[in-house]
Structure 1
Amino acid sequence: MDGVIYRGNQLVPGADRFINFLRAEGHPFLFLTNNSQRSRRDVAHKLCRLGIETSHEEVFTCAMATARFLASQRPGGTAFVVGENGLANALHINGFTVADDDVDFVVVGEGRTINFEILEHATRLVDKGARLIATNMDTRCPTESGARPGCGAIVAAIEKATGKQAFSVGKPSPVMMRIARQELGLRTGEVVMVGDTMYTDVLGGVQMGYTTVLVLSGHTTLEEVKNYAYRPDYIASSVADLPEELFRGNRIKVPA
């Protein structure tokens, strides 16, 4: 999302035309985000405010993927949440109870209200046997004023303190990538993953066998691509410049 469709509170030039093209051509798509702070309705509202009319059903977040995965593992379970309302809301929708003690899982997402007391309590719960889950492992999140620590950086503190490794559900996890494909009702060969980050968007697409497109409108430069053993199928300046062959014959459908 950030770096692909918008940057902060500004649309990437041409992003609105790209989405309008997908709608006009009948290509189903989803907006995928590793930001667990906002609910899907909040994300849709932001897109509408930026000029892209969007239904909440077109948004899929790592919080949603995490909640669905945990509900499949332990229906009606309990979780202590290190994060904000978007994550807690997704867990509630999927039948989970958010609690402070004797929980099945400690679930870590992003948040600007996280403090040391919360991390300390989460550490003690994991020591007592709660399983450690991360909505994603992004170490940095871009903001208009610079980068801030992401979920991966936050959960690393708990991992180091407990000696337990978190299981991550968000991009590039096949869990989120597979659920998103199923939401669209598509086969593997029909999906294109468009993103601005090599170690989440492109890696997730490569692992799932999707066609991958790296856009350079975010925080990955062309020079940095050579640092990775895997490669995207296409590189474009932005979503406004995607190669035409992706859409010929209506063969490939594009999650944005």
Structure 2
Amino acid sequence: MKRTEAFLLDLDGTLYRGTEVIPDAPDFLRWLIETDRKYLFVTNNSSRRPEQVAEHLRRFGIPAEAEHVLTPSMVAAQYIKEQGAGNRVYVIGEEGLRSALIEAGCEITDEQPDYVVQGIDRQFTYEKLMTASLRIQSGAIYLATNVDKALPTEKGLMPGAGSLLAAVATASGCQPIVMGKPEARMIDHALEMLGVPKERAIVVGDNLETDILAGVNAGVRTALVLSGFSKRDHVAETDGKPTIIVDSLSDLIRLVE
């Protein structure tokens, strides 16, 4: 653990919970900066641009800049560039997804797209579902930002991108290629950005089914922080076992110093 050079950090449940900062999160980020360690905020949130994610973190007193943010929208945009199979894209999603695709040179269109890219979309309609289904049936490649079925809010669990995925996959008869956690693709992309080998990195998160499983799938060490979604007694029931379990980010510092 003491050779850890790079930290891939989840957000909600790890650095903050809803509208409240987790008490030791700001100090943890300052420690990363002071000790010259590399890090990325790795989030499944496709609705926000990196600048918006960083601004949201700064409101909690957490030092953050856009260059330290990786979203599944960015991974999707890079995937399309690397495939070289066309750049015409039909989008079901919000600002963060659209801006990432446009910045990567994609053309947003509903006519003969090469890809259908779907994330969270709080203006989702039957017409969007119909268009996505027809385009996928006509040969467009279906990409999804993440499989998160629900989003925790003060009102309760709200439908997430995974709920829309279920609708599009059912209508089109096609399962998507998933960009975000728990797929290894996002972790691999993060390590490429940082220029750090897998054995020198660690994924830090509160969710066994997304954060920890993503690290396991990518062959990267993981730290489950018991500050959010998953609890210690959930570990026995999951496929992705964390490398270590810590009560807090402060405990993680003591293990790697």
Work out whether the TM-score is over 0.5: yes
TM-score (norm 1): 0.92
Q: Distance in 2 between matches of 1:191 and 1:182?
A: 11
User: 1:171-193: per-residue Cα shift (whole Å, max 9, x none)?
Assistant: 12222111100111101111010
Q: Are 1:149 and 2:198 an aligned pair? A: no
User: Kindly tell me: are residues 243 and 227 of structure 1, through their superposed partners in 2, closer, same or farther at Cα, counting changes over 3 Å?
Assistant: farther
Map of 1:235 onto structure 2: 245
Q: Distance in 2 between matches of 1:13 and 1:118?
A: 41
User: 1:164-210: per-residue Cα shift (whole Å, max 9, x none)?
Assistant: 11110111222211110011110111101001111211111112221
Q: Distance in 2 between matches of 1:238 and 1:105?
A: 41
- The counterpart of 1:210, out of the listed 196, 213, 220, is 220
List aligned pairs for 1:109-188, cutoff 5 A.
109-188=119-198
Map of 1:195 onto structure 2: 205
Q: Are 1:84 and 2:94 an aligned pair? A: yes
Deviation at 1:67, TM superposition (A): 0.8
TM-score (norm 2): 0.92
- Secondary structure, in 3 states, of the residue corresponding to 2:39? coil
Instruction: Determine if contact 1:76/1:95 at 8 Å carries over to the other structure.
Output: no
For structure 1, the 5+ residue unaligned runs are 249-256
Instruction: Determine if contact 1:13/1:240 at 8 Å carries over to the other structure.
Output: no
User: 1:16-72: per-residue Cα shift (whole Å, max 9, x none)?
Assistant: 011011111111100000010000010011111221231100111111011101111
Deviation at 1:116, TM superposition (A): 2.1
Map of 1:253 onto structure 2: none
Deviation at 1:75, TM superposition (A): 6.4
User: 1:186-236: per-residue Cα shift (whole Å, max 9, x none)?
Assistant: 011110100111121111111222110111212112222221133101112
List aligned pairs for 1:24-35, cutoff 5 A.
24-35=34-45
- Secondary structure, in 3 states, of the residue corresponding to 2:164? helix
Map of 2:21 onto structure 1: 11
- The counterpart of 2:75, out of the listed 65, 70, 84, is 65
User: Kindly tell me: are residues 230 and 141 of structure 1, through their superposed partners in 2, closer, same or farther at Cα, counting changes over 3 Å?
Assistant: same
List aligned pairs for 1:37-56, cutoff 5 A.
37-56=47-66
Instruction: Determine if contact 1:75/1:95 at 8 Å carries over to the other structure.
Output: no
Deviation at 1:239, TM superposition (A): 2.0
Deviation at 1:238, TM superposition (A): 2.8
Which moved further from structure 2: 90-99 or 144-153?
A: 144-153
Cα root mean square deviation, aligned: 1.4
Q: Distance in 2 between matches of 1:49 and 1:190?
A: 30
User: Kindly tell me: are residues 111 and 240 of structure 1, through their superposed partners in 2, closer, same or farther at Cα, counting changes over 3 Å?
Assistant: farther
Instruction: Determine if contact 1:75/1:96 at 8 Å carries over to the other structure.
Output: no
Deviation at 1:10, TM superposition (A): 1.5
- Secondary structure, in 3 states, of the residue corresponding to 1:106? strand
Q: Which runs of 4+ in 1 moved over 4 A?
A: none
- Secondary structure, in 3 states, of the residue corresponding to 2:127? helix
